[in-house]
Amino acid sequence: MRSLGRRQPFGFLAVAILVTGLTAACGSSSDSSSSSTTSTAGASRTWSIVALGDSVPSGYACSCTPYPLLSAKGLTAKTGQTVTATNDAVAGYTTSDVLRQLNADGSVVDQVRKADAVEINVGANDIPYNANSCGTSVDCYAPLLSPLRKNLAAIVGRINDLTSGHKVLVVLLDYWSIWLGGTYARERGHAYVSAARKMTAQADAAIETTAQETGSAYVSERHAFKGPSFGYSESHYLSSDGEHPNAAGHQAIASATEAVIQTVLHI
């Protein structure tokens, strides 16, 4: 899906925030240049967001501003604080790629060390649709879920190690669909739609569970695109390839992410 990434009224936007102790901890988050300074709501400072992941946060197939930059811009406008974003997402990345990036890419490591929030949107490429080997057999894809969870947990652990000198907010984002979505999926037939929904639900559950277990925040792109009961079509949020967000889709994800970051970090 993401190897090379949808519109509903914002009134149906639903965001799940799983903080497990993060609210108090991240209220005093600071960057590397001001680690001894306690940050409070209204205090003037620069906040740093780093985005990691695949073609969704990278902005592939959109020719628009991707959501990590939009979320920083939105937070700056809402709060009067300076919020910056560094987008280190790479189209085609899997969880293994992001983990390797955090261990071997010196530039990314330095950026994460200074971050107040790290957005992680990866996992769809870990469970790619394969018409030849698995087709629409959900059971065939199931073994791919365990490595996904293991790598996500390792990614969060690595981020926590890199930011041990200060508190950082880790935000895990799920997917509206890990394969084609909306009308683009329906063109493939009922079996494809059914398999895509089931595998997306399982992948999203793995991401949400990892957020709970690691004390991370969680943003549901599926809620943002499909509504709280997943009853709306995400087609209008999709680029013409049927896989990646268009400009409206990126704005929907940005709005959801902004809400979490502002609430937890008290920007």
The pLDDT value given to residue 43: 58
**pLDDT bucket at 90, cuts 50 / 70 / 90:** very high
pLDDT above 90: residue 4: no
Domains and CATH numbers, the chain: 10-265 (3.40.50.1110)
Alpha carbons 106 and 90: distance in angstroms, whole number: 16
pLDDT above 50: residue 211: yes
Q: Which helix (H) or strand (E) is 191 found in, with range?
A: helix 190-214
Average pLDDT of the chain? 87
Q: Give me the DSSP letters along 217-249.
A: EEE-HHHHHHTTTT-S--GGGB-TTSSSB-HHH
Tens digits of residue pLDDT in 61-70: 999 999 999 9
Alpha carbons 64 and 52: distance in angstroms, whole number: 18
* pTM for this predicted structure: 0.85
Taken in order 183, 146, 105, 167, the sign of the CA dihedral is positive
Tens digits of residue pLDDT in 130-154: 999 999 999 999 999 999 999 999 9
